[in-house]
Structure 1
Amino acid sequence: MKESFVLVVTSLLTLLCGFAANVRAEESKRPNVLFIAFDDLRPALGCYGDSIAVTPNIDRLAARGTVFDRAYCQQAVCSPSRLSLLTGRRPDTIRVWDLSTHFRESLPDVVTLPQHFKNQGYWTQSLGKIYHGSGKPSLDPPSWSVPARFDRVRDPETRYALPRNLKGKGLKRSAVEAAEVSDATYLDGMVCDEAVETLQKLGQQHQPFFLAVGFRKPHLPFCAPKKYWDLYDRERIPLPIVEKHPRNAPELATRSWQELEGYTDVPDDGKLSIDKIRELRHGYYACVSYVDALVGKLLNQLTELELEEDTVIVLWGDHGYHLGEQGLWTKANNYELSTRVPLIVSLPGQARVGTRTGALVEFVDVFPTLADVCGLEAPSGVEGLSFKALLNDPDRRWKRAAFSQFPRAVSGSRHRGHGAIMGYAVRTDRYRYVEWRRWGTDDVLARELYDHDADPHESKNVAGQATYSKAMEELAGVLEGGWRSAVPAAGHGS
């Protein structure tokens, strides 16, 4: 009897150990994730057709993955955009529309993208700016296996290198800086160096990892080592094609966020000379090339550690950016230049590489997609659609619309919370349609319509023209129907 009992217990232990071993083996087979984020990066990249940008390393990544030509953020300002991606939910759901609100105030139990991977056996780690870069929204301990690093750095000595700027006051000193310094003088270089070291450590463990690396450039101030400025001839960087606000656009649409103002070399009224416009555009491209070089270091480290074939790479910028186009600077509006984002995905063993897709995708789609390609189920409540199918079939039919929004106060440059007025935008293959609604009543205060077939630079609001009345009616219906009505039937392209 005793021998039979021992035999049964031994058999059960063997089965349990075998089950645990199989779980560990299954987890170890799951791909790693390298999650690379940028602050204020519009698609000013060679792989997006920008003939000015010097971005050989991001272009190298694009050559082994898929470029999403028409990816859109949910709200064109840092924290709401990043939180939409990291929760897979839209701003009105997480109730985050500004830079000071933490998403767990309204959704305390929501599972974030890195938290979901951690719950499924991944080691999750954050270096740099992944959530917001300051205040409460920058922190979310449940997301990470170890405390985040370089997430709340506000030291001017990591932003500037030249003596005249180091002697200044506050965070806003000069808007531009070209210094004869190493990459690691500025914060992004420090983040990159630690990421390279972290990859070395993570590559030695058997547990799959989700490593998030967040670069703060090309966010203002446009400070980068001089060698990246030297990659460009300033006179060959074109000025904006359209330098004025769109004709017939409501003031709500073109109101300045006033982010550029406040730097010591920028007039308080925001009116810039041609020379300053050229300098700022030059500085932006220099910063893009700077972070491109840092991406190259990460990719080289993956190759050296032989992790390329075991790692999903996702590269994204949190929203677009204006550099004087449409008479606007920075972001914080519903226009194409602010809401369209770079998004590149590369999978191990991807059947079709070096491809691009014109399918409409959104930041809320990243969460379910990453879960899908790593063999995980996305948690319930995610308001996006996995675009895994597009990676090997980039021309298939997909969403018919992408949705963005931006709040406004009644007056003034900044809003709090949801603001008094919300601008809801829908982007289809041909049109951008916007309704500015009074919060609480949904009364429509103004409408915008831009025909990208006739006006790709959104220079004229044609919402009042009779020839577009049918399009207006259809687009209003799409906006009213919401994101669920815009996805392919049964969640699949056809």
Structure 2
Amino acid sequence: MAFCTGKRSFIAISIMALMMSGCRINKGFSQQKQPPNILFIAIDDLRPQLGCYGDKIVQSPNIDKLAKAGVLFNRAYCQQAVCSPSRTSLMTGRRPNTSKVWDLKTHFRTTIPDVVTLPQYFKHHGYHTQCIGKIYHDPASAQDAPSWSAPEILAVTDKKGKYVLPANLEIKSAKAAATEEADVPDDAYIDGQVANQALEVLRKIKDKPFFLAVGFRRPHLPFSAPKKYWDLYDREKIPLPAQNTPENVPAYAMHKSEELRGYSDIGFNKEIADAKQRELLHGYYAAISYTDAQIGKVLAELDRLDLTRNTIIVLWSDHGFHLGEKAMWTKTTNYELDTRVPLIIAAPGKRKGVTSDGLAELVDIYPTLAELGGLPVPEGVEGTSLAPLLTRPDQPWKSAAFSQFPRPWQYRGEPQTMGYAIRTDRYRYVEWRNFKTDEVKARELYDHQSDPAEMNNIANIPANAALVGALQQQLRDGWQKARPKSRIF
């Protein structure tokens, strides 16, 4: 009998161990009651034009407050400056040439079907993962059910989420006016609804480890926001950008602002008057302040529920944006204004209110969150954990950040020409190559020490031949060799 009792006890203990192993959250936080939660805040088309980045116009008090609670990355870059490829790269931890997602229609499950996404990885380790708003690209066909523990909420929007005024809703095209100002409550537009849903979900999941992704659509076009956010700005005091075009650049480098010109009040064949440009700038700033207010609601609820002290908060934008500079509007280039993004990470026990100038990439977020969550970084991830910079933000870091963009842009399948770019501490270097043969068709080189606006391509100056050769080798060596040689925690 004693033997049988011991055997039953052994079996019971073994089963319990197996169950604990199967439900294991992670071993890095085994001594805590609960591993760290993750609040994952995505913003669409936001360039680093915020108070915390030194901007004197935009009012962004809630994001500025978050920056004081964590580390602000001053030089963070996306991997391709348009929605789906950038978000795919971040969410899968793979760069565009690995995911083979270069356009808005290709879904990564058709090209890398077995990849484990960032939230899916946390789901496999016992987290409740949930999505509210735009995390992947907007259409229903772009969503990814395996990433989440529950169905996506407001992951897809229609015209009514973008406009409320009858004059815009009655226009047949999905692109009505490029801006909209309406005296309505915040939840009349999609981002207010996203914030409200985030508050509800937080209250439901507060007692279990969670990965909550909250995606806001503004300041993506149309620049729609309630009137009170427009009232924060005096349009007549908004300066217009310098609109000179860069010198000596290949045609591949530029575009004709087709995304903006598709809106009903802009048009394809007319100059955008100064008054309209100020309206667009006013709308962009109002949309930022509107989104900032929604983020503030979510962060306040996190505090109210006493979750902030055990929550990693990461805020990012999928790419930057041109606001008339270089006579271009919107994104889809390899320039600094399109590839540089805001990135803030606030994590328990890490530095607060500091800035890191270390070169960072959105593809780094996957391994960063894995490491902060006490999980091993999975094989195949093509980024570098930024966790050491959260403790020592001024330590030597990457030698380059990598971006790319194809031409022509509107296509499906492999591109004809790919522009590959690196941003080093001082330079931006771009090679435009035949995608199949890898033949270099054109080059760009900008010296940020003397030309921060990237207006003068100096790649073809004979005196720069050695510099071009060195940067070309650095580009060809790729992201692996650009990683920091040591990490200080």
Q: TM-score, normalised by structure 2?
A: 0.96
Aligned twin of 1:256? 256
Q: Which moved more, 1:244-253 or 1:68-77?
A: 244-253
Question: What is the 5 A alignment of 1:326-345?
Answer: 326-345=326-345
User: Residue type of the partner of 1:236?
Assistant: K
Aligned twin of 1:291? 291
Aligned twin of 1:60? 65
Q: Does 1:324 align with 2:344?
A: no
Change (3 A) 1:400 1:299: same
Q: Distance in 1 between matches of 2:336 and 2:131?
A: 30
Q: Distance in 2 between matches of 1:232 and 1:108?
A: 47
Q: Does 1:179 align with 2:182?
A: yes
Aligned twin of 1:82? 87
Aligned twin of 2:363? 364
Residue 308 of structure 1 and its aligned partner are, at CA, apart by: 0.7
Residue 35 of structure 1 and its aligned partner are, at CA, apart by: 0.3
Aligned twin of 1:110? 115
Residue 467 of structure 1 and its aligned partner are, at CA, apart by: 3.0
Q: Distance in 2 between matches of 1:66 and 1:372?
A: 16
Q: Which moved more, 1:7-16 or 1:359-368?
A: 7-16
| 1:429-468 deviation line (CA, Å, top 9, x unaligned) | 0000000001101111110000000000111111111232
Within the candidate set 134, 144, 147, 1:143 is matched to 147
Q: Which moved more, 1:299-308 or 1:11-20?
A: 11-20
User: Residue type of the partner of 1:414?
Assistant: Q
The answer as to whether partners of 1:398 and 1:493 remain within 8 angstroms in 2 is: no
Residue 7 of structure 1 and its aligned partner are, at CA, apart by: 2.4
Residue 470 of structure 1 and its aligned partner are, at CA, apart by: 2.0
Change (3 A) 1:443 1:237: same
Q: Any gaps of 5 or more consecutive residues in structure 1?
A: none
Aligned twin of 2:100? 95
Aligned twin of 1:153? 157
Q: Does 1:121 align with 2:133?
A: no
User: Residue type of the partner of 1:163?
Assistant: P
Q: Does 1:455 align with 2:451?
A: yes
Residue 3 of structure 1 and its aligned partner are, at CA, apart by: 2.9
Q: Does 1:402 align with 2:401?
A: yes
The answer as to whether partners of 2:37 and 2:210 remain within 8 angstroms in 1 is: yes
Aligned twin of 1:213? 214
Q: Distance in 1 between matches of 2:104 and 2:256?
A: 16
| 1:138-171 deviation line (CA, Å, top 9, x unaligned) | 21111000111111222x1221111211222121
Residue 249 of structure 1 and its aligned partner are, at CA, apart by: 1.0
Residue 28 of structure 1 and its aligned partner are, at CA, apart by: 5.0
The answer as to whether partners of 1:42 and 1:317 remain within 8 angstroms in 2 is: yes
Q: Does 1:195 align with 2:194?
A: no
Aligned twin of 1:51? 56
The answer as to whether partners of 1:407 and 1:415 remain within 8 angstroms in 2 is: no
Q: Does 1:487 align with 2:483?
A: yes
| 1:399-433 deviation line (CA, Å, top 9, x unaligned) | 00000000002xxx623333210000010000000
3-state SS of 1:37 partner: strand
Q: Any gaps of 5 or more consecutive residues in structure 2?
A: none
| 1:159-204 deviation line (CA, Å, top 9, x unaligned) | 111121122212100101110000000011101100011001111x
3-state SS of 1:272 partner: coil
Question: What is the 5 A alignment of 1:378-393?
Answer: 378-393=377-392
The answer as to whether partners of 2:70 and 2:345 remain within 8 angstroms in 1 is: yes
3-state SS of 2:79 partner: coil
The answer as to whether partners of 1:53 and 1:285 remain within 8 angstroms in 2 is: yes
Q: Which moved more, 1:462-471 or 1:377-386?
A: 462-471
Q: Distance in 1 between matches of 2:3 and 2:256?
A: 80
User: Residue type of the partner of 1:88?
Assistant: G
Q: Distance in 2 between matches of 1:112 and 1:59?
A: 29
Change (3 A) 1:92 1:21: closer
Q: Distance in 1 between matches of 2:137 and 2:69?
A: 30
The answer as to whether partners of 1:157 and 1:166 remain within 8 angstroms in 2 is: yes
User: Residue type of the partner of 1:97?
Assistant: W
Q: Percent identity?
A: 53
Q: Distance in 2 between matches of 1:188 and 1:288?
A: 11
Q: Distance in 2 between matches of 1:342 and 1:257?
A: 22
The answer as to whether partners of 1:322 and 1:331 remain within 8 angstroms in 2 is: yes
3-state SS of 2:263 partner: coil
Q: Which moved more, 1:250-259 or 1:77-86?
A: 250-259
3-state SS of 1:40 partner: coil
Question: What is the 5 A alignment of 1:16-27?
Answer: 16-17=15-16, 20=19, 23=24, 26=30
3-state SS of 2:358 partner: strand
Q: TM-score, normalised by structure 1?
A: 0.95
The answer as to whether partners of 1:257 and 1:332 remain within 8 angstroms in 2 is: no
User: Residue type of the partner of 2:196?
Assistant: D
Aligned residue pair count: 483
| 1:97-135 deviation line (CA, Å, top 9, x unaligned) | 000001111211110000000000000000111001015
Aligned twin of 1:229? 230
Q: Distance in 2 between matches of 1:378 and 1:146?
A: 24
Change (3 A) 1:396 1:187: same
